[in-house]
Chains A and B, each alone.
Chain A
Amino acid sequence: MFRRLRGLFSNDLSIDLGTANTLIYARGKGIVLNEPSVVALRKGPDHSNHRSIAAVGTEAKRMLGRTPGNIMAMRPLKDGVIADFTVTEKMLQYFIHKVHGDRFLKPSPRVLVGVPCGSTQVERRAIRESASGAGARGVYIIEEPLAAAIGAGLPVSDASGSMVLDMGGGTSEVALISLNGIVYADSVRIGGDRIVDAIVNYVRRNYGTLIGEATAERIKHTIGCAYPGDEVREMEVRGRNLAEGLPRSFTLNSNEILEAIQEPLSGIITAVKTALEKTPPELAADVSERGMVLTGGGALLRDIDRLLQEETGIPVIVAEDPLTCVARGGGRVLELIDELGPEVLSLE
């Protein structure tokens, strides 16, 4: 009863609880939060198990790899699902409160959370419990590709096939949608994190130098590309030389990064090709004519659309503002739930 009362004074939220970033869309307000899914924990004195939250989000991400012994910066989600239940709950609680600001009543919003389509019931339940524990009075679960397709503006309710590839930090999900439902979906645990790891490994192998994840991510954003282009871009990188044990700087170019990330890219291509193989013929014709839409942070990798286009032979379109598609699509679903009831889409 009291939760419902508090709910009247809370904004319904659509949460894209991603491995790399958490985005929150509030109804009527748009994207109100976009922060890294990172939590910094402070350990208790004298080796006790007590842990307290030192920082969450952007502030905590700045601490990654730069923490003293008593602070541990961690990412509570791995491969799109919860790896540390308690920390995820605290992180969500923090984000929900941050979105609502300082209010007299403790917020108790209805929350819609996107989950990878390959996640198990246990993993989904963990997310549901985590959101409930963070103060949500009602939790809806939606499969991320469906939310991404709605957020991207695909005509999901039409009796025609719409294909979406959502490339997140931990997983990449390909789905074929028709008549408001998922006809085929597959999830591979390859995403931005694997690309970052591939860059770290490449630099260690070829330059004998160790670089951190943050540096590798900066390299990916600056000179990363998925398809060989006319322009070769370069970047100066600093790391610790393994042989000398001293910091050294060197120059990387985009062709090297392209070589470095071949393995994760081929995994994604395989998943897309498998999806196309398993698509019913009528829908395959639709997809072949209209193409596939890319969402998620991975869609921002330079020329990823060109690569997929060349490999699959179908048009590939990068959605507008691909990072926020899942959160925006979830927000639209919340509106539809109010207008037409929860049976409107296949929600849990």
Chain B
Amino acid sequence: MAKRSDNKSLGNKPGSGGTSPPPSLGARLRQAREARRIPIENIAQRIRVPVAVLRAIEEDRLEGLAPIYVRGYVRAYAHIVGLGEDSVLALLPSAEMPVVVTARSGRLMRQNVMPGGGLKVATLAVVVVLVGLTVASFRSPVVDDAAIDAGLDAGVAEPEAPAVASAPTAPEIRAAPGTANGVVPHPETPPAGPAATAPEPAATRPEPGTVADAGAPPSSAPAAVEAPIELSPTELSQPDALLAAGHKLVLELDRESWTEVQDARGAKLYYALAAAGQIINVAGEPPFRVVLGNAPDVEVFYNGKPFDFTPWSHGRVARFTVGAPPPADGRQ
């Protein structure tokens, strides 16, 4: 009986294919199964799918099942009844990746305001304007002179000028900008700010081993010695002085620790396993991105001041940024 009906349907195809609608997926599967006289229970037993589910597929009731399962069951079913998998699967919707968060329906999806090229073009335009402004400001002689003068004045007359001799306990000492005996800045990381354009080297950057000795008065500039000696060490890190002298980071290790320091440009200033007792002294363009593998045994000083990185410690590892501008996230 089943065979006869199948023959009928097969016989109808070539002759009246254009007039009657093609059989649905479920009908095709059922017809093929009946043509082979395979009970639906046998197929259920073979592919381990409940009979009810197979009946639902035969009746094209696919609503309750995820597409991937339907495709899997249909593929296995078609294989058993000898139908071409591809031709049957073509009748099914493709198993698209699901929207993962459907449970949080209360949240609105954020859309990109300027997706794709618009954002890129806008960014390029902003960058071009910024670069233009920067170049223009550096070419202006008034700005340069004012900056240099301010630096010189700060070294001689202003009471806030950094005094080398007055701060023997500070980890690092900076001479006033423009002083004659100042040490040359690090070649790879020139200090940012107007002092970078000064005609004479302005900042001190001693080697790690000589940091403490650098505070000795004889090696300092006379102008700096003339400054009031009652200045406290904290005044050494006044913003003007920092801009003039370049930013420095000192890491003192009690025990060995994996240490990474990158400057603002991503240049790796230090990237190694540092030994116990080592004092790492780096200078460059802030902010510095620091990774410490053994954070509890490391002390960090930024421009002479201890830097508390405990909020960014997770276990023994600390990842933090030092010297970021205050409005960014509150880190130094």
Contact B266 A154 (CB under 8 A): no
From B75, B99, B111, B264, give the contact of A157 (CB < 8 A). Answer: B99
Interface size on A, residues (CB 8 A): 41
**Residues on A with beta carbons closer than 8 Å to the beta carbon of B275:** none
Q: Is B125 an interface residue (CB 8 A)?
A: no
**Residues on A with beta carbons closer than 8 Å to the beta carbon of B127:** 5
**Residues on A with beta carbons closer than 8 Å to the beta carbon of B50:** 289
- Given A315-B72, A339-B109, A340-B104: A153 touches B47 (CB 8 Å cut-off): no
Minimum CB distance partner of B99 in chain A: A157
Residues from 66 to 85 in B contacting A, C-beta threshold 8 Å:
66-69, 71-73, 75-76
**Residues on A with beta carbons closer than 8 Å to the beta carbon of B47:** 309, 315
**Residues on A with beta carbons closer than 8 Å to the beta carbon of B96:** 153
**Residues on A with beta carbons closer than 8 Å to the beta carbon of B119:** 8
Q: Is A336 an interface residue (CB 8 A)?
A: yes
**Residues on A with beta carbons closer than 8 Å to the beta carbon of B65:** 290
Most buried by B among A150, A291, A316: A291
**Residues on B with beta carbons closer than 8 Å to the beta carbon of A150:** 97-98, 100
Contact B72 A333 (CB under 8 A): no
* Chain A 1-33 interface mask (CB, 8 Å, partner B; 1/0): 111010011000000000000000000000000
Q: Provide the bound-state CA to CA distance between A289 and B44, in Å.
A: 12
**Residues on A with beta carbons closer than 8 Å to the beta carbon of B71:** 317, 320
Classify chain B's interface size: 35 or more
Minimum CB distance partner of B112 in chain A: A338
* Chain A 327-343 interface mask (CB, 8 Å, partner B; 1/0): 01100110010111000
Contact A156 B98 (CB under 8 A): yes
Q: Provide the bound-state CA to CA distance between A226 and B68, in Å.
A: 23
Contact A157 B103 (CB under 8 A): yes
Most buried by B among A179, A289, A290: A290
Contact A329 B103 (CB under 8 A): no
Minimum CB distance partner of B68 in chain A: A153
Contact B97 A153 (CB under 8 A): yes
From A180, A289, A291, A338, give the contact of B72 (CB < 8 A). Answer: A291
Contact A315 B73 (CB under 8 A): yes
- Given A153-B95, A315-B72: A340 touches B101 (CB 8 Å cut-off): yes
Q: Is B102 an interface residue (CB 8 A)?
A: yes
Contact B100 A314 (CB under 8 A): no
Minimum CB distance partner of B287 in chain A: A1
Contact B266 A3 (CB under 8 A): yes
Minimum CB distance partner of B70 in chain A: A317
Contact A329 B68 (CB under 8 A): no
**Residues on B with beta carbons closer than 8 Å to the beta carbon of A1:** 264
From A5, A179, A332, give the contact of B97 (CB < 8 A). Answer: A332
Contact B98 A154 (CB under 8 A): yes
**Residues on A with beta carbons closer than 8 Å to the beta carbon of B4:** none
**Residues on A with beta carbons closer than 8 Å to the beta carbon of B94:** 320
* Chain B 119-147 interface mask (CB, 8 Å, partner A; 1/0): 11001000100000000000000000000
Residues from 194 to 234 in A contacting B, C-beta threshold 8 Å:
none
Q: Is B216 an interface residue (CB 8 A)?
A: no
Minimum CB distance partner of A179 in chain B: B103
Contact B95 A320 (CB under 8 A): yes
Contact A155 B48 (CB under 8 A): no
Minimum CB distance partner of A294 in chain B: B72
**Residues on A with beta carbons closer than 8 Å to the beta carbon of B99:** 157
Q: Is A344 an interface residue (CB 8 A)?
A: yes
Minimum CB distance partner of A137 in chain B: B266
Q: Is B229 an interface residue (CB 8 A)?
A: no
- Given A291-B49, A338-B112, A339-B109: A317 touches B68 (CB 8 Å cut-off): yes
Q: Provide the bound-state CA to CA distance between A158 and B103, in Å.
A: 8
Contact B98 A157 (CB under 8 A): yes
Q: Provide the bound-state CA to CA distance between A69 and B206, in Å.
A: 47
Q: Is B8 an interface residue (CB 8 A)?
A: no
**Residues on A with beta carbons closer than 8 Å to the beta carbon of B55:** none
From A2, A152, A336, give the contact of B100 (CB < 8 A). Answer: A336
Q: Provide the bound-state CA to CA distance between A345 and B101, in Å.
A: 9
Q: Is A151 an interface residue (CB 8 A)?
A: yes
Contact B102 A157 (CB under 8 A): yes
**Residues on B with beta carbons closer than 8 Å to the beta carbon of A155:** 66, 98
Can you list 28 contacts pairing A with B, beta carbon distance less than 8 Å? A8-B123, A150-B98, A153-B66, A153-B67, A153-B96, A153-B97, A155-B66, A157-B98, A157-B103, A179-B103, A289-B53, A290-B65, A290-B66, A291-B48, A291-B69, A293-B72, A313-B48, A314-B48, A315-B47, A315-B73, A317-B68, A317-B71, A317-B73, A317-B76, A319-B95, A332-B100, A333-B100, A340-B109
Chain A residues engaging chain B, CB cutoff 8 angstroms: 1-3, 5, 8-9, 150-159, 179-180, 289-291, 293, 309, 313-320, 328-329, 332-333, 336, 338-340, 344-345
Given A2-B264, A155-B66, A320-B71: 19 more A-B contacts, CB < 8 Å: A1-B264, A2-B266, A5-B123, A8-B120, A151-B97, A153-B66, A153-B67, A153-B98, A155-B98, A158-B102, A159-B103, A291-B48, A309-B48, A315-B69, A317-B72, A320-B68, A338-B112, A340-B107, A345-B100
